[in-house]
Amino acid sequence: MSDPIIRSDRVRILLADSSTMRSQLLSGALRRRPEFKVVSCSMSSDSILKPIQAESIDIILANTDHRDDLNRGFSILHRVHLTRPDIPKILIVDTYDRQLTINAFRSGVRGIFSFSESKFRDLCKCVHVVQSGQVWANTTQVRHLLELVTHVPSLRAVSLNGKSLLTPREEQVVALVADGMSNREVAIELGLREHTVKTYLFRIFEKLGVSRRVELVLFAISHGYNQPAEWMAGTV
């Protein structure tokens, strides 16, 4: 009797879920597919990073919904992405909207999947597509992402005689800080070094007469507005 054939080309999936019952159901369905090998863990940074360090993982499935703390979920995904940007990630949600789509892709995911509009076999296709290096997004999600790229937020601050106080790049930095981004997130968004963002903020503080980040945010809320701005990623 010959030895059984062990597939070496199976996609190794790490399924992270805050619900034990949901994780068991989905992992069971995935394991019935011969092309998948599934490892499960809870939805936390440490729980995700531990199996990644212990064995080779091809793709991460993060399962969440609107009943969970989505901001916490995005923070976890972002931390994992900074640690292992080479591992593609898919976010599974019940429903989505524009802001969820933007926050998800900002956090490092390469696909958003919803069982409310797609079937399980589509999830399997999604896994293969994202694992191969492509992006999984429907027409609406792509439109949201294109709007984000073509309409970079900008804040317009002017003096009493109407002269602009900030450069276009400084206006973008203020708008993103006011949107709640950290220096590192602003740097990633604009294609800059984190040290460069700190330099921009120092200049902005001087020009606007503020001394703290919270004062800058309050200034932006009371004086700024969002408008289309030229994309200048990577320039100083």
225 pLDDT more than 50: no
Rounded to an integer, the average pLDDT of 104-117 is 90
**Predicted pLDDT at 3:** 39
> Distance between alpha carbon 72 and the CA centroid of its chain, in Å?
12
Under CATH, what is the fold of the domain 11-147?
A: Rossmann fold (3.40.50)
226 pLDDT more than 50: no
**Start-end ranges of CATH 1.10.10.10 in the chain?**
152-223
Out of 3.40.50.720, 1.10.10.10, 2.40.160.20, 3.30.465.10, the CATH code matching 152-223 is 1.10.10.10
pTM: 0.63
More confident residue, 72 or 155: 72
36 DSSP β-pair partners: 11
The chain-wide mean pLDDT, for the chain, equals 81
The model's confidence at residue 174, banded by pLDDT at 50, 70 and 90, is confident
**Start-end ranges of CATH 3.40.50.2300 in the chain?**
11-147
Which region, left, alpha or beta, applies to residue 162 given φ > 0 means left and ψ of -120 to 50 means alpha?
Answer: left
